[in-house]
Amino acid sequence: MHKALTYILAVFLSVAASAQGKIVQMGPSVLVPLQERDSVLIADQLFYGFELQQVEEGTRFAFPQIKDTLMTNVCIVRPWQMDTVKVTKQKKGQPRLLDLRGGLTVTSFDEGIYYLPPLAVQRLSKDGVLDTLVFEPQKVQIMTMPVDTATFKPHDIKGILNYPVTFAEVAPWVAGGLALAGLIALAIWLIVRYRRSHNPEYVKKDPAHIVALRKLDKYRGNALWAPEKQKVFYSGITDTLREYIAERYGIGAMEMTTAEIFQDMQDADVPQDLYEELKELFERADFVKFAKFAASDEDNAKALPTAVRFVTSTYQTELDEEISPLPSVGRNDNETVISSEPSVMSSEVETSVNPETKEEE
């Protein structure tokens, strides 16, 4: 093995010398164990390299390309590395002198004696002179741990040690479980809320007269009485009344003409005077919407009160039909029957129930 390495080095040096420069024998290389012990054991790391003193600053070095293995059973742990050990200053104008140390970190996992190959490094001075520095090889003995066979007793593999569970180990799992439970509860709540909000059985629907009065309230005042805005004014009022009539009387007023609506409402429980006023309102709205008719301020002022009176009057009629008289069985003459009704959103029509009462002094 040693002869083979010497032959390889000789070939390398001959090629380097033929390229340029000369071969310089530099003496022994450096082999230093990185572990502080008397012998080198398996897997111990060693520094294998060289040391140079008084090298002018600016000198360049080139190292040979070595892969993962320096030689058989000797592996490279760290590739080539150059370190500056000492710096010496000279006179002004002269370059500094450096003490350098370079090499590889190697190890072996097999017992035996190994003759490491010599090291060859190319040096390029500041003057452009190229030469090859050759360092003598080293020998290393790799040993295993000594075992006293007389007293050695093999031991079985120990089992896994059981340590008590601490709060710090459990806390992340508990916190994660609580967070997951909270997310699940939130998701369930959102799903139930969404389904209820989109399910007609759970959506609270306001009565038709409340919806109509709320919409009509938007058209109070004379902001929409101008001729160019009257179409919006009358369309909003009549569309609201159409929706109310469809809900209150079951008439398809949204798809019907004015004449068809009032034809179907002839048998409805609407006072005749209110019926005529409402019909006049719808006809005036048709002229405004389709014939570009400009209604007078007097007609505009009557439009909204007529619509409100129609809603409140027909709603009150429906309420009176739903209320049934209380039975008189078991009631004393001195008792007073009080009938309460929901308030109506209108200041123009007031409804009240005045039960007959008998007062005694």
Residues 6 or more apart whose Cβ sits within 8 Å of residue 49: 29, 30, 101, 102, 103, 104, 119
47: containing domain? 2-143
Model pLDDT for residues 72-127, shown as the tens digit of each residue: 999 999 999 999 999 999 888 888 999 999 999 999 999 999 999 999 999 999 88
Q: 269 in a domain, yes or no?
A: yes
- What are the distances in angstroms from CA 176 to CA 34, 157, 166, 187, 284? 47, 37, 16, 16, 69
Model pLDDT for residues 191-216, shown as the tens digit of each residue: 988 887 777 665 667 888 899 999 99
One domain for residues 179 and 110: no
Q: Residue 192 is which amino acid?
A: V
In the DSSP assignment, the letter for residue 256 is: S
| pLDDT in the model for residue 103 | 94
**pLDDT band at 323; cut points 50, 70, 90:** low
**Of 28-32, 119-123, 195-199, 330-334, the least confident:** 330-334
d(CA 302, CA 51): 113
| pLDDT in the model for residue 319 | 58
One domain for residues 272 and 189: no
d(CA 277, CA 274): 5
One domain for residues 181 and 212: no
One domain for residues 94 and 124: yes
One domain for residues 28 and 54: yes
Residues 6 or more apart whose Cβ sits within 8 Å of residue 282: 238, 241, 258, 261, 262
**pLDDT band at 317; cut points 50, 70, 90:** low
The per-residue pLDDT of the chain, averaged, comes to: 81
One domain for residues 305 and 196: no
One domain for residues 92 and 14: yes
Q: 332 in a domain, yes or no?
A: no
Domain count, the chain: 3
Angle at 141 between CA 139 and CA 145, to 5 degrees: 165
Residues 6 or more apart whose Cβ sits within 8 Å of residue 358: 333, 334
d(CA 355, CA 18): 133
Q: 354 in a domain, yes or no?
A: no
